[in-house]
Amino acid sequence: MARPRVFVSSTFYDLKYARAVLENFIQAMGFDPVLNEHGHIPYGSKEALEKYCYNEIGKVHILVSIVGGRFGTKSHDTEFSISHTELNTAVKLGKQVYVFVENSVISEYQTYLKNKSVLGIQYTHVDNPKVYEFLEKIYALPINNQVSGFDNIAFITGYLKEQWAGLFEQYLEQQGRAEIVNMMEKMESTTDTLRDLVDLLKAQASYSQAAQAVKEQALDAIIIQNHPLFSELKRKLNSVYRVFFTNKGEMEQWLRGARTIVPVDEDLWDDKSVGEYSHERDRASGKEQWILKIPNDLFDDFGNLKPMLPGDWDDKRVTYAKYADVPPPSAATGGSSLDDEIPF
């Protein structure tokens, strides 16, 4: 089962106890911790080690940054440290970020603001003024700039537990609203269909007998325009655009072009009456294969979509579910070229 991945960013030697406690806490919450010192980050040999840290942040869901009094190892790419650049990377990628700063550092931050133009000034609680320079940038961010002071790791774990419980509550609220939106879309589709049918039937008195076939074709065309299969595929595949096709060929062309979903060989179907389509999705833990199943009886012998009213539809007719995980390739581990501050 896929689980949220939480990247822990900080200097190492002064905060290694806090990192160990956080790792246990994250695991107890049912999440996957990502810590450099335990080999959670796959390193290659073509770039500097810090590059692989920044790349890994793109694959996590949450970053927890702990800022203490040590500056740490300077980044090759910026004027700040590696741990500071990790936080900056997460902010740029729009990740959920939590920043904790030792209270002693925060208390001296106001002194820094009043004296940052004074050359040669030394501070008590940090080993490099750039720690305060980075804090200044964090406070200036329009989003993701909430900074919490802490005196002990228990405050951090308690704060995160409250925050993550709040995120879960928001998720449940959004799920409830999604069900309402889905229901309203179905009602709107039904209303549009009925309105068009009423308009057509009002005019049927003027139809000649020879025009009855044309009338029936027009009725089918109206029903097809609001076929419940369209809204079902839109919902299951999370499409933001309107879905429309008239036959199986057009449907498969849309699946391939819009969602990279391809037909499965008929010999591999679980049920010959239900067509299967394969979709390979990227996940943090590797590739996942998902299978879309669409009954063949929705189409006639020529592959044309059969007319169907929304009231005759059953949401369980079309399924979309994970079939099997494809193990991710093992990553090679490169050697270290940084100083004794690694792990970060």
Spans of the chain, pLDDT less than 50? 325-344
Find the Cα–Cα–Cα–Cα dihedral 230, 231, 237, 239, rounded to 10°.
Answer: 90
- 57's CB contacts (< 8 A; 6+ apart) are 7, 63, 86, 89, 90, 93, 95
CATH value at residue 34 = 3.40.50
* 121 and 11 belong to one structural domain: yes
Strand blocks (E) in 226-335:
262-263, 274-283, 286-295, 319-326
Check residue 333 and give its pLDDT. 39
Beta-bridge partner residues of 34: 7
* 130 and 9 belong to one structural domain: yes
Strand blocks (E) in 156-304:
262-263, 274-283, 286-295
* Residue 165 domain flag: no
β-pairing, 147-150 vs 96-102, is parallel
The CA distance from 138 to 101, in Å, is 11
The CA distance from 53 to 85, in Å, is 10
> What's the pTM value of the predicted model, to 2 decimals?
0.52
* Residue 195 domain flag: yes
Where does a domain end: 151, 186, 217? Answer: 151
Check residue 286 and give its pLDDT. 62
* 257 and 130 belong to one structural domain: no
* 123 and 229 belong to one structural domain: no
Q: Return the structure tokens found at 299.
A: 């189409």
Check residue 199 and give its pLDDT. 62
The CA distance from 341 to 304, in Å, is 66
* 22 and 128 belong to one structural domain: yes
How many residues can be counted in the chain?
344
- Name the residue range of residue 133's domain: 5-151
The CA distance from 151 to 100, in Å, is 10
Where does a domain end: 134, 151, 168? Answer: 151
* Residue 338 domain flag: no
Check residue 226 and give its pLDDT. 78
Check residue 38 and give its pLDDT. 74
168: closest CA among 75, 116, 96? Answer: 96
How many domains are contained in the chain? 2
* 234 and 183 belong to one structural domain: yes
The CA distance from 197 to 201, in Å, is 6
Helix (DSSP H) and strand (DSSP E) numbers for the chain = 9, 9
Question: Tens of pLDDT along 228-254?
Answer: 898 889 888 888 777 888 899 999 998
